[in-house]
Amino acid sequence: MSAADEESALLGLAPVAPDRTLAYGPHPDQVVDLHGPWDTAAGPPVVLLHGGFWRAAYDRCHLSPLAAALAGQGRPVALVEYRRVGAGGGAPQTFEDVAAGIAAVAALTPGAGGPVLVGHSAGGHLALLAAARPGTPVARVLAVSPVADLARAHELGLSDGAVAELLGPEPGRAERLAAADPVRHPPAGVPVTILHGTDDPDVPPELSRRYAAAHPGGTELRELPGVGHYAPVTPGTPACATLCGLLPGPVPR
């Protein structure tokens, strides 16, 4: 499957409506969609953070099929939305929203253990930042095709300067970059697994390799030969089966 085929395969899936939606703030994008069984007996929740290079043009809907697929396996799943560039987001609002959304999910099942955080692309960047936050309630992070080295992504000009859009104008951009770059912030005792296709044309696997080299103690890097950017989060693909295998199994009901 080509990179273009991977993108069309994911974006061609019909969005799946959640069982219910939880607001964690007053902005329309400060919401979490809940799928699957939500009680402490169901086990730790899986929290999904979508990508789209932090831009308002891309919302959580394209990950709703993955949320539904994981919930169909018996897991409680939370798909977090957050303010994005062009609609009240950017640094630091986007980062603050992700922290608040994760905290809201963790409060739903306090006896189930901390959430397992799964982020794709720009969502992978946000997941790695969450792993580095002192006192984070997250138990594990699985970053999929993540923008794991923000400075290098900025140098490469990924997605027509998406990093610069996220960080905002000068002055102060260098300081905001340093604060938001996962390479500069090791996981705060949270195990991190990175899953990255070797043929990813959107986020080069080089970025994940640089993160793993910077934080070897708590990071495991798994590369998927011949896989692009979207297959790992597209239900029904072998790459998505690999993703599911890295998550804790659902608790038998």
Please indicate, yes or no, if residue 38 is contained in any of the structural domains.
yes
Token readout for 171 is: 């002055």
Please indicate, yes or no, if residue 253 is contained in any of the structural domains.
no
| Percentage with pLDDT > 90 across the chain | 89
d(CA 218, CA 131): 10
251 has a pLDDT exceeding 80 = no
Cβ contacts of 59 within 8 Å, gap of 6 or more: 29, 50, 52, 81, 84
| Percentage with pLDDT > 70 across the chain | 98
User: In what order do the strands lie in the sheet containing 31-35?
Assistant: 20-23, 31-35, 77-80, 46-49, 116-120, 140-144, 192-197, 219-224
Please indicate, yes or no, if residue 173 is contained in any of the structural domains.
yes
> What is the tally of structural domains in the chain?
1
Quote the domain boundaries for residue 185.
Answer: 3-245
Total Cβ atoms within 10 A of residue 17: 12
Q: How many residues in the chain?
A: 253
Cβ contacts of 80 within 8 Å, gap of 6 or more: 32, 47, 48, 49, 60, 98, 101, 102, 105
Annotate the chain with DSSP letters as a single string: --HHHHHHHHHTSPP---SEEEESSSSTT-EEEEES--SGGG-SPEEEE--STTBTT--GGGGHHHHHHHHHTT--EEEE----BTTT-STTHHHHHHHHHHHHHHHH-TTS-SPEEEEETHHHHHHHHHHHSTT---SEEEEES----HHHHHHHTHHHHHHHHHH-SSSSHHHHHHHH-GGGS--SS--EEEEEETT-SSS-HHHHHHHHHH--SSEEEEEETT--SSGGGSTTSHHHHHHHHTSPPPPP-
Question: 46 pairs with which residues across the strands?
Answer: 77, 116
205, 158 in Cβ contact below 8 A?
Answer: no
Please indicate, yes or no, if residue 250 is contained in any of the structural domains.
no
Question: 146 pairs with which residues across the strands?
Answer: none
β-strands 31-35, 77-80: how paired? antiparallel
pLDDT tens per residue, range 136-194: 999 999 999 999 999 999 999 999 999 999 999 988 999 999 999 999 999 999 999 99
pLDDT tens per residue, range 69-109: 999 999 999 999 999 999 999 999 999 999 999 999 999 98
86, 57 in Cβ contact below 8 A?
Answer: yes
CATH number (domain holding residue 50):
3.40.50.1820
Q: What is the per-residue pLDDT for 4?
A: 72
pLDDT tens per residue, range 107-144: 998 877 899 999 999 999 999 999 999 999 999 999 99
Please indicate, yes or no, if residue 27 is contained in any of the structural domains.
yes
39 has a pLDDT exceeding 90 = no
Please indicate, yes or no, if residue 15 is contained in any of the structural domains.
yes
Token readout for 59 is: 């919302």
Please indicate, yes or no, if residue 98 is contained in any of the structural domains.
yes
Please indicate, yes or no, if residue 252 is contained in any of the structural domains.
no
253 has a pLDDT exceeding 80 = no
Q: What is the mean pLDDT of the chain?
A: 95
* pLDDT tier at 203, thresholds 50, 70, 90: very high
